[in-house]
Amino acid sequence: MIRILCIETSTEFCSVSLIEELKITGSKTLTINKSHSEHLLTLIDGLMQEKNISLTQLSSIAVSKGPGSYTGLRIGVSTAKGLCYSLNLPLISINALDLMAFQVIKNYNIGSKSLLCPMIDARRMEVYTKILDFNFLDVKNNCAKILDEHSFDYLLNDTKVYFFGNGSNKFKKIVKSSNALFIDNIFPNAINFNELAFNKYNKKDFEDLINFEPHYLKEYYFNKDG
């Protein structure tokens, strides 16, 4: 049986889940205002005990590669890499923005001509974002974007765009277009890894453990928190 431990730490939510074949069989989530380091291993241990499964029974570990919180991503990726090294397991990475978009496509009735715009807060009026279509194909790749009232006008003039994620509230306050639609309470969560991680496992789409780093999108300044 294919078993994948999934780790998501790109925002204020810290979550883990267990995939057995294509099914999520267990998960744990915490909202954390500070460092994930105090809680992540406890969540993993609790999940493994709850499912009565040893880490040695895992087939792989999947982790969110970002974009998102520098500190959260660093902790999540470091933990995943450390476990993969010690257990001799392959590492799978999942884009946090794709994770949210996949959740929306699965759970909401989005029109086939509509676009999706996940957003992760990057402080002030900046967000990490991308644009995807209904078929989960990239229209615009990951970027760090400073928002203003005319952001995405080139899309909103002709197309309905769904915005979601913890960065979308900033845009909701300033956008004027009726084609801008918003979905609340969407955040990167390990409970949505299943199909994305399972497909990568089957394709043997694994990361290089030595060289893999989180996808921060911009430089981190050490006088700021992650």
The domains of the chain, with CATH numbers, are 3-95+188-202 (3.30.420.40), 97-183 (3.30.420.40)
Q: Residue 33 — pLDDT band, cuts 50, 70, 90?
A: low
CA–CA separation, 147 and 97 (whole Å): 17
Average pLDDT, the chain: 93
**pLDDT of amino acid 35:** 60
In this model, does residue 220 exceed pLDDT 50?
no
**pLDDT of amino acid 226:** 36
Percent of the chain with pLDDT over 70: 94
Give the pLDDT mean for 146-150: 96
Structure tokens at 211: 């060289």
CA–CA separation, 1 and 63 (whole Å): 20
The predicted-structure confidence for 96-122, as pLDDT tens digits, reads as follows: 999 999 999 999 999 999 999 999 999
Residues with Cβ within 8 Å of residue 52, at least 6 apart in sequence: none
Which uninterrupted H or E stretch holds 162? Answer: strand 161-164
Give the pLDDT mean for 191-215: 96
In this model, does residue 224 exceed pLDDT 50?
no
CA–CA separation, 214 and 30 (whole Å): 21
Q: Residue 38 — pLDDT band, cuts 50, 70, 90?
A: confident
**pLDDT of amino acid 123:** 86
In this model, does residue 39 exceed pLDDT 50?
yes
Least confident piece of the model among 59-68, 96-105, 214-223: 214-223
> Using an 8 Å Cβ cutoff, are 187 and 100 in contact?
yes
**pLDDT of amino acid 225:** 36
Task: Tell me which amino acid residue 204 is.
Answer: K
CA–CA separation, 176 and 196 (whole Å): 34
**pLDDT of amino acid 202:** 97
